[in-house]
Amino acid sequence: MLAWERKIADFLHRLRLDQIKAKILVFSLLATLIPALSMGALFYMSAKRFITEKVSQQLGDVTVQDVRELDLWLKERLYEARVYASSYVVSENLDKIIRGGSAAGGSAPALYRLKDYLKSVGEKFVDYEELVVVGANGSTIASSSKRSSPLSLPRDWQQKARSDSPILGEVFRDKEDNKAAMLLAVPIKSLSGRLLGALVVKLNFHTVDEILGRSALGASGQSYLIAPDGTLIAGSRLNSSEIIKVKRPFNNVRPPESKAVLLEYADYQGENVVGVYQRMSQLGWGVVAQINKKEIYAEIMRIRILILLICAGLLLVIGAAAYLLGLTIVRPIDRLTHGAAKVAAGDLEVKLPVISRGEIGFLTEAFNNMVARLSQDQAELTEKNKELQLLTITDSLTGLYNRKHFMEVLAGEVARYRRNGRPFAVMMIDTDRFKKYNDTHGHQEGDALLKKIGLIFAKCMRDVDYASRYGGDEFIVLLTETDKARAVEVAERIRDLVAVEAMSRDPGRVAVTISIGVAAFPEDGHTPETVIASADAALYHAKRNGRNRTVLASRDLRSDTEVTK
């Protein structure tokens, strides 16, 4: 191998490009994506610039429109206040109150008429929280409400009142209503031009919220009104009853007052937004219109996704032939590799499709034959293991369970009783005069008799019961979830069936009967050994009292057996 080939092979190995399919795919990817992404990047930058200019224009239009309407709103409130302040009801009654002084007869009717007038005016407009008439010295004369909250007018309000200038206070939080409000005042003068006092209007920002709420700024956009110090006054998504939050939405950046400039910043809620600021003509207030950056750049993201989809489409079209060619080469090898991995993991149900007619096809057929042979050998081995396991737990003569397995099952049944309290019964069974039967007919006939008795047990028992050869001609049976009465019924059925089916048809032969001892758990024992001992004692009693009978275990029988032994 040449040096340059070795270097390239090492480089591809580090990049995990050893496989043929990977090399073909990488070549297709590079040949398609490099030109497509270059053109897409140019298109993306142009689209981003266009969307940014569009958003800037939209936000600028919103702020200009909002500033125009808010200026008009403020001018209307000033005009209304001047109209009400110039009403003769206000000026004449205020003059009477001032001239009447403390005389109740002179000022009381005028005060009543003045309060009634203020109340009627306040009820007509939603922007008015309270109307108050103050004297020239600042003292409260009359109010539209019964509240007596102190008014905080500017220090130079009297000077402005004498010059007929509007008096505009700062935005504050009304402690009684817990909402933002501001004071607006106009002078009240007599016909001679003498300053009598001022009409003070406490304004809320319901209408301002509605004006700002009409801004079409998408799902996340909003516009809000701020004071020169950055205090939030009202907004399309703000509740004017909230405590005023004082945060500069543009941080330390002050946009030029001459024109709207699009800025990116973190707003008062900490969201990344882009916004435009526009100053009002009065009070130095400003309107901010903003939209969340995520919403703005969602369109840009859609363009980006479109570019990626176009690139992906080009990749699929241009690289389709190379990809299919790679599949025809690599796919059969991959199937063989995965199949070998499954066989190594123990899965012998693998069968690979033979598609190619060349070397790979021949290798696939050989692989399938090898797996089939292994599967057949494994099935035979599994069957042998089952047979071996069955031999370890059964009696070779009768086909019943052997004594060792029965003791394991009995121990498990005792444990199950201790979990759920379900009783069971044990039967000890012995073939009567079996030695005589063997001596008379031979051991082969005796073995045949034991097999026949085992078959009778299978007919009389349920699938959940267990019968075992205990030793010689003795058998033991476990009846699950069975009480003594039910166990006696089963024992009698077995005894009767043995007497009928196992009885010799030759008159000269010995009759076959069995004796059965029945014990129940836990009445006759609390361990496997004790319940077997109780059943054995009952069996002993049955044998001693004539055989061919069923005897229930009891404490007297166990005592009698111990004495006899």
pLDDT digits (tens, 9 = 90+) for 367-417: 788 877 877 777 777 777 777 777 777 887 888 888 888 899 999 999 999
440 and 518, same structural domain?
Answer: yes
Q: String of b and e for 371-380 (b: at least 16 CB within 10 Å)? A: beeebeeeee
Does 320 map to a domain? no
Does 449 map to a domain? yes
At 64, the amino acid letter reads V
Cα distances (Å, whole numbers) of residue 384 to 343, 370, 371, 390, 402: 22, 21, 20, 10, 20
Does 17 map to a domain? no
Taking the C-alpha atoms of residue 169 and residue 200, their distance in angstroms, rounded to an integer, is: 10
364 and 252, same structural domain?
Answer: no
258 and 384, same structural domain?
Answer: no
Of 152, 96, 93, give the one whose Cα is nearest residue 118: 93
282 and 270, same structural domain?
Answer: yes
Beta-bridge mates of residue 143: 132
Q: What is the predicted pLDDT for the residue at 498?
A: 87
162 and 136, same structural domain?
Answer: yes
Please identify, among 263, 295, 311, the residue that sits at the C-terminal boundary of a domain: 311
Asked whether the CA dihedral 15, 20, 24, 29 is positive or negative, the reply is: negative
Going by C-beta distance under 8 Å and a sequence separation of 6 or more, which residues neighbour residue 140?
132, 133, 134, 148, 151
Report the length, in residues, of the chain.
Answer: 565
The beta strand positions in 270-423, using DSSP E, are 272-279, 286-292
Q: List, for the chain, all residue ranges whose pLDDT scores fall below the cut of 50.
A: 1, 102-105, 240, 243, 246, 250-253, 255-258, 505-506, 562-565
Does 326 map to a domain? no
274 and 216, same structural domain?
Answer: yes
Taking the C-alpha atoms of residue 159 and residue 497, their distance in angstroms, rounded to an integer, is: 129
Asked if 184 and 207 touch (Cβ cutoff 8 Å), the reply is no
CATH number at residue 519: 3.30.70.270
Does 28 map to a domain? no
CATH number at residue 201: 3.30.450.20
Does 22 map to a domain? no
355 and 275, same structural domain?
Answer: no
Report how many domains make up the chain. Answer: 3
Per-residue tokens: 182: 């501001």
Going by C-beta distance under 8 Å and a sequence separation of 6 or more, which residues neighbour residue 242?
179, 180
Q: What is the predicted pLDDT for the residue at 83?
A: 87
Q: What is the predicted pLDDT for the residue at 517?
A: 93
Asked if 201 and 81 touch (Cβ cutoff 8 Å), the reply is yes
Token pair 């033979």 is found at 354
Q: What is the predicted pLDDT for the residue at 505?
A: 47
293 and 157, same structural domain?
Answer: yes
295 and 158, same structural domain?
Answer: yes
Per-residue tokens: 155: 């220090």
146 and 40, same structural domain?
Answer: yes
Q: What is the predicted pLDDT for the residue at 478?
A: 92
359 and 298, same structural domain?
Answer: no
Asked if 380 and 372 touch (Cβ cutoff 8 Å), the reply is no
Does 2 map to a domain? no
Q: What is the predicted pLDDT for the residue at 554?
A: 82
Going by C-beta distance under 8 Å and a sequence separation of 6 or more, which residues neighbour residue 476?
403, 406, 426, 427, 428, 429, 467, 468, 470, 532, 535
SS3 readout for 229-260: CCEEEEECCCCCCCCCCECCCCCCCCCCCCCC
Domain that holds residue 385: 348-391
209 and 100, same structural domain?
Answer: yes
Q: Residue 131 has what DSSP assignment?
A: E
Taking the C-alpha atoms of residue 215 and residue 13, their distance in angstroms, rounded to an integer, is: 60
Gyration radius from the chain CA atoms: 53
Token pair 């361990």 is found at 527
Taking the C-alpha atoms of residue 313 and residue 307, their distance in angstroms, rounded to an integer, is: 10
Q: What is the predicted pLDDT for the residue at 322?
A: 64
Asked if 131 and 118 touch (Cβ cutoff 8 Å), the reply is yes
Does 199 map to a domain? yes
Read off the pLDDT of residues 219-276 as tens digits, 9 standing for 90 and up: 778 888 887 777 777 777 765 455 455 455 544 445 444 456 777 877 777 778 888 8
* Mean pLDDT taken over the chain: 79
Q: What is the predicted pLDDT for the residue at 166?
A: 82
